[in-house]
Structure 1
Amino acid sequence: MFEIQTSNAKTQRREGRKAASARFSFTTFAPSRLCVELFLASALAAASAQAEPGSASAGEAMWTRPFSVDGENRSCADCHTADLTAAGRHVRTRKTIEPMAPSVNPQRLSDPKKVEKWFKRNCRWTLGRECNDQEKGDFLAYIRSR
């Protein structure tokens, strides 16, 4: 407990009033893990509700659109192919890329951390910058539609 005086005690005594004070008590509050998880889940749900839904047609248009980066024209379809149900091949490393369509490859889009990691890496390489939330939503809507 501690005490806070709300005005000068000397002035109050001179005016014949009793000094006003307030008492406060602080209790340590440690939120449970469940409380924190519920808060984060509700914040994520609120943010998702405010986000624009993705457009599969806009995602498809961006998927095949060439972007000029470092003097090269690049598109998502260069490595992943225009047919999301088919395997692709990276244009530089020649490594095989599993099909993007969840209908053919159920592991696709199942891990949010991996999805974000690959968006960051592939958008930087293909577009020369990170994708914004609307573009990510459009790509995801397109991929999920196949």
Structure 2
Amino acid sequence: MLPFLCALSALMSVPPAALSASPAATLQARYAAQAAREDRAYRGASSERGRRFFLAKHGSDWSCASCHTPDATATGKHAVTGRRLQPLAPSANPARFADAAKAEKWFRRNCRDVLDRECTAAEKVDVIAWLDGLHPGGAR
């Protein structure tokens, strides 16, 4: 019963407008609600913070852009395996963020690789805010 109540509570914390919004906006709203619960000083998403976070080198001297390229509307390549990576920006890859569980899985894995820790909800919401505002051929 407790897992059901937790899931219901999480769903109720998502603003009604987000329920009909794009997958990225829905996920962004969920992480924003989580960030607000974790930090009373949280004041909302910042696409500029998301851009800086994505491009900055962290922990093991990697950045998100190390594999995904500085242009998140472009195809990337994993720095170690050479595997092709689909664009992160939803405008270039509409399937991006469509599956919340998959997005969380990749955030968890990639944040550990880049930061040597998991990303905070605030970091996730900022990165999604930046990615959701990008457009192929004219990144914002």
- Structure-2-length-normalised TM-score: 0.69
Query: Which amino acid in structure 2 is aligned with residue 145 of structure 1?
Result: G
Contact 2:68 2:85 in 1 (8 A): yes
Match status 1:94 vs 2:82: yes
1:99-124 residue CA offsets vs partner (Å, 9 max, x unmatched): 11111110001110011000000000
- Identify which of 62, 71, 79 aligns with 1:74: 62
- Structure-1-length-normalised TM-score: 0.67
Alignment map for 1:1-146 (pairs within 5 Å)? 41-42=11-12, 44-45=13-14, 48=33, 51=36, 52=42, 53-69=44-60, 73-146=61-134
Identify unmatched segments of 5+ residues in structure 1: 1-29
CA distance in 1: counterparts of 2:6 and 2:53, whole angstroms: 38
CA distance in 1: counterparts of 2:34 and 2:121, whole angstroms: 13
Structure with the largest fraction of helix = 2
Query: Which amino acid in structure 2 is aligned with residue 45 of structure 1?
Result: V
Query: Which amino acid in structure 2 is aligned with residue 64 of structure 1?
Result: L
Runs of 4 or more consecutive aligned structure 1 residues displaced over 4 Å after TM superposition:
35-40
**What percentage of residue pairs aligned between the two structures are identical?**
37
1:42-74 residue CA offsets vs partner (Å, 9 max, x unmatched): 2x33872873422110010011101132xxx10
Partner-residue secondary structure (3-state), 2:59: strand
1:67-108 residue CA offsets vs partner (Å, 9 max, x unmatched): 132xxx100000000101110000000000001111111000
Structure with the largest fraction of strand = 1
Q: Rg larger in 1 or in 2?
A: 1
CA distance in 2: counterparts of 1:106 and 1:145, whole angstroms: 13
Identify unmatched segments of 5+ residues in structure 2: 16-29, 37-41, 135-140
Q: How many residues align?
A: 110
Partner of 2:138: none
What RMSD in Å do the two structures reach over aligned CA positions? 2.5
